[in-house]
Chain A
Amino acid sequence: MAKQMEEYAWEDLTVGCVIIEPGNAREYKTGDWRSQRPVVDKDQCIKCGVCWVFCPDAAIQKAADGYYVANLEYCKGCGICARECLTGCITMVEEEK
């Protein structure tokens, strides 16, 4: 677990500031950035996986039932999935304030 920057004393740093936990950026939730979120019409979804392929943030995950689910902790609301969806079954919906 990475601490907040301000919590580090100089003695806490690794030698050469090497980060030894691969991929610990997962702790930073970029979901706060978005102003709209993808909403899927499952009836129109053909489970092609195109949305999963094209998400720059790897914020779409395959669920057990084969449908694809947006991970709202990271989804930045860019809308690529909605635009690229083959059947157009994804709609970008404004986040409530």
Chain B
Amino acid sequence: MGKRVGIEVSLAVAEAVKMANVDCIAAYPITPQTHIVEHLSELVADGHLDAEFIPVESEHSAMSVCIGTQAVGARTFTSTSAQGLALMHELLFIASSMRFPIVMAVVNRALSAPLNIWNDHSDIMASRDCGWIQIFVDNGQQAYDQTICAFRIGEDRRVLLPVAINIDGFSLSHVVEAVEFLSQEEVNRFLPPYQPLYRMHPDQPVTMGAFAMPELYMETKKAHNVALCNSLPIIKEVWAEWQELTGRAYAPLEEYCLADAEIGILAAGSICEVVMEAVDRLRSQGKKVGLLKLRLWRPFPFPELRQMTLGLKKLVVIDRALSTGGPGGPVFSEIRSALYDQEKHPQVFGFIAGLGGRDVPPEQIMAAVDSVMHGVERKEEYYLLGVRERG
């Protein structure tokens, strides 16, 4: 086992990338991702990491350069937030369809307008369909662990897909937490060098990115979708190996006090720590409440969700993003849809909290749960928690 240090979570992520011995980093600065790439630049400049650091002129070029480095077989990392993720949007679909296992730390921040540099999940939710593996972390240790696992998962020959690790901006990226580092030898054993299936090299000329006529395009999308869905067992395999190595367990959905719960609260990211506090307080009031932590967002964890919600009467979903004009927050909509056909499933309720970095105290979560418990009549499809209204 390596050492346990107090470290800003952004820097822990950068250290994980360093330990993964990436070959290339292409990134463009945007608050609150900057500390990750700044620290990586320092590591490269001081010779602690042998990598090409390409300071690109936009996020669109960042993802383009990453695709280029991957095409010749280099292990590649990037990071961005909000507007940067939105700017590279078209390339997210391209990177995953072309099966390049890029690892990206998405430091979640609100999408403009108005400009807002603080935390919510609108950036990643606007990209949910991009075909990447998408994982949420709620604390610094998980950010470190999942960054290393991401390379292992994405580069697996049975997967070959890019991986996005979602880290809440400021509320997680900028806090100092205790993180246990592995030794470099342990990481080397866990993460072998990247062996691409195809690479561009004159010895074996390949053509990548050919265009598809209608006669062929649907088959290509099916192939991609199957690959993403089939990555679920491999993700669990890698996490099981990580657990053996570190003692830390990960699952597509994790739980807290769920065993005898009647009401479940489902959330993703660092807000889960607030929800755990709310669960403790509600439990002390004698309410049978538990937390479901969404760790794996894509591929969607159908079996785990259906299994873990069987015993619940009601399920409160806390979204950190709004699907404007839609049927509810993105997570709420998908959870409800996934449970709809089940013979036995809880009633699902949608709440949207903490947009644009708005603080979410445990009381807010508790009030939402109480309203659901007491069958308060719902006048709207979903509620934005803590929004000030007249009257």
Contacts and interface: CB of A to CB of B under 8 A. Distances in A.
Q: Touching in the complex, A and B, CB below 8 A?
A: yes
A6 to B, nearest CB: 5
Given A17-B210, A20-B206, A22-B205, A10 B99 contact: no
A28 interface: no
Contacts of B206: 18-20, 22
Contacts of A20: 198, 204, 206
A16 B204 CA distance: 16
State which size class the interface on A falls in. Answer: 10 to 19
State which size class the interface on B falls in. Answer: 20 to 34
Interface string B218-247: 111011001100000000000000000000
A13 B220 contact: yes
Contacts of B207: 18-19, 22
A17 B220 contact: yes
A10 B219 CA distance: 4
A5 interface: yes
A5 B215 contact: yes
B97 interface: yes
B113 interface: no
B310 interface: no
Given A16-B97, A16-B98, A6 B219 contact: no
B197 interface: yes
20 contacts: A5-B215, A6-B215, A9-B219, A10-B222, A10-B226, A13-B219, A13-B220, A14-B198, A15-B223, A16-B97, A16-B160, A16-B198, A17-B98, A17-B210, A18-B198, A18-B208, A19-B206, A19-B207, A19-B208, A22-B205
Interface of A: 5-6, 8-11, 13-20, 22
